[in-house]
Structure 1
Amino acid sequence: MGFLGDIGSFIMTPLYYVVSVVLVGWHELWGSVFGPESGVSWALSIVGLTLVIRAALIPLFVKQIKSSRNMQLLQPKVKELQKKYGHDRERLTQETMALYKDTGTNPFSSCLPLIVQMPIFLALFRLLDQAAKKGNGHGVLSDDRAKQLADAKLFGGEISSTFLNSDGNSTVQIIAIILVLAMTATTFLTQRQLMSKNMPADALSGPYAQQQKLLLYVLPLVFAVGGIAFPIGVLLYWTTSNLWTMGQQFYVIRNNPAPNTEAARAKQLRDEAKAKAKGLPAPGADSAVAVEEPVVDRRPSQRQQPKKQSRQQRRAQAPKNPSPQGDSTEQGDSE
């Protein structure tokens, strides 16, 4: 057990420092406004921690969006592979993975932000749990600040308390239930937003669609069941993170939707309305005309070489010349 504990400490110690540095930095700011022992200052510090973490994950989010879009656009080709190799599961898997590799698509990229956030989530959970149970701090969070964090109250409930260990405090239970419901609802709505607005019809069936539907229903269920054991501060972190994801995803879907989706059609209508209001031609009108025009081969045509003919064949094809000069010529040739 000591060996496993050393490994856990080796992994978690850097995370404790990262989380505590950001948390204490925000607490210095909000503590000067609301007081260092105020629950509002600690709640806002947790929100600030969430914003910093999510801002740092923007590159991963962009990669997730690109990979998700590629997965959607590749669904027709994936279906062709299923028809061709449906009888051979091993060959189908190999060909599908080769298709993803050739197009630079990672089917697991959609989970990257969630996977990266889990260690941060665990570190914050441990900080709150240790502060509540033992009053111990980690990283740059001193024991005094840990005690303040453990005792800080938000709407009458301690930030470090959970629904399960509320000791019959109905205020803590109500706050915890509200945040669990908010966390579950935002998780569901975020995934639903992606599937209903930014997925083409071809992507709504097949393995990728099944994966998305699984995430749509399983993730909220997991968070709902596990949420009753999370401290209020952790529930606040995860709900804020989900709201960030919803806003970030809404912006991307609205301004850069995937082709052949409801979001793309809505954007086209908005662009046409804006162009009409400014008296400009509708966007894409020129390109639409260009698509309808037949493609012309502009390469220079090769000059056709004349076939070799005998003198008799050339004489038979030559027009008859009634002039005396022509007759003399013919007579000369006959001689």
Structure 2
Amino acid sequence: MARLSKWYKTIGLLPILMAVLAIVGIIAADMSYSGHVGGTGLWGGFVAIFIRSILGVSSWFSSSYGLGIIVFTILVRFVILPLMVYQIDSMKKMQGVQDEIKALQEQYPGRDAESRQLLAAAQQQLYKDRGISPFASMLPLLVQMPVLIALYQGIHNSPILRSGSFLWLNLGHQDPYYILPILAALFTFASSWLSTQANPQQNTMTKVMPFIFPFIILFTALAVPSAVSLYWVISNLFQTVQTFFLQNPFKMRKEREEAAALVKNKERMIRKATRSKKKKHR
């Protein structure tokens, strides 16, 4: 019960409420589709639910399968929104203990097995004391990967989706003009760059990753059906907007600068008071 209360306090009511409404929307879309979509086994049933949900949402928009994928993608993003909020909160806490982690690394250099074990134990205790989950960043990815695989298989297993069209796209084939792959790469870069800029302590890896991920998405999107690329475009656009509001690097940078200014001002006042005290004793 205490852990649930802690999660609720960290995430807040609004993201949880939006996730619940999104789940209700996906269930309603699944139930509103009157056709039959078969699935064998647990995974096949999971894929069938996704197909029915997309087709159900599409029926709300005069069987526009492109709009169905867009709305379904937004619903999925709202479902995992609480996990994203929890992830960002953990990342902020991780950034707040970087100085302490550096001190532990200096205390336990890790040159031998015993030192590495002591360092790992000290870091684990530090995370526990600060309420940090180092694996929180994996939660959204663990949720999104099955969704993406199910969507990909659903398109191939559903003749209706595979033969559907949206704007200039044939949803079962690659984008002939490469517009969606380029947009998916651009939005991936935007969300990665914003997230990186929010981190005050950057190394070579964190600086390079925002440029690597977009190329991976670009070349992958060139090889998959445009329906999957459409999912990536909407999902990464949502991610960019979400990162800006939940992890605004410009706001966080300003807050860090103001906090640093307060510390400097306090130190200056202490030095001034110390000098005044010395002069009185003379």
Considering the TM-score relative to the shorter chain, is it more than 0.5? yes
Whichever residue aligns with residue 193 of structure 1, its letter is L
Structure 1 contact 184–223 (Cα < 8 Å) conserved = yes
Q: Hey, what does 2:181 align to over in structure 1?
A: 180
Q: Give the match's secondary structure for 2:148.
A: helix
Distance 1:91 1:232 in 2: 50
Q: Which runs of 5+ in 1 are unaligned?
A: 1-7, 136-145, 163-171, 269-284, 294-335
Match of 1:50 among 73, 90, 97: 73
**Which one has a bigger Cα radius of gyration?**
1
Match of 1:262 among 237, 253, 270: 253
Distance 2:189 2:92 in 1: 20
Q: Hey, what does 2:20 align to over in structure 1?
A: none
Q: Hey, what does 2:119 align to over in structure 1?
A: 92
Q: Which runs of 5+ in 2 are unaligned?
A: 1-38, 271-282
Cα distance, 1:14–1:80 mapped onto 2, change above 3 Å: farther
Matched, 1:157 2:169: yes
Distance 2:249 2:106 in 1: 35
Deviation at 1:105, TM superposition (A): 1.4
Q: Hey, what does 2:56 align to over in structure 1?
A: 25
What are the within-5 Å matches in structure 2 for residues 93-112 of structure 1?
93-112=120-139
Matched, 1:79 2:82: no
Match of 1:16 among 36, 47, 55: 47
- Report the aligned-residue RMSD: 3.1
What are the within-5 Å matches in structure 2 for residues 1-335 of structure 1?
9-31=40-62, 36=63, 41-86=64-109, 87=111, 88-131=115-158, 135=159, 146=160, 149-162=161-174, 172-174=175-177, 177-196=178-197, 198-200=198-200, 203-205=201-203, 210=205, 212-213=206-207, 215-254=209-248, 261-264=252-255
Cα deviation digits, residues 47-68 of structure 1 (max 9, x gap) = 0001110111111011011111
Whichever residue aligns with residue 88 of structure 2, its letter is I
Cα distance, 1:76–1:9 mapped onto 2, change above 3 Å: farther
Cα distance, 1:213–1:14 mapped onto 2, change above 3 Å: farther
Structure 1 contact 184–220 (Cα < 8 Å) conserved = yes
Task: Name the TM-score, length of structure 1 as normaliser.
Answer: 0.59
Deviation at 1:256, TM superposition (A): 11
Q: Give the match's secondary structure for 2:243.
A: helix
Aligned length: 224
Task: Name the TM-score, length of structure 2 as normaliser.
Answer: 0.69
Cα deviation digits, residues 117-158 of structure 1 (max 9, x gap) = 111111111111223xxx3xxxxxxxxxx2xx2222234431
Structure 2 contact 85–246 (Cα < 8 Å) conserved = no
Q: Give the match's secondary structure for 1:244.
A: helix
Structure 1 contact 254–263 (Cα < 8 Å) conserved = no
Distance 2:80 2:68 in 1: 18
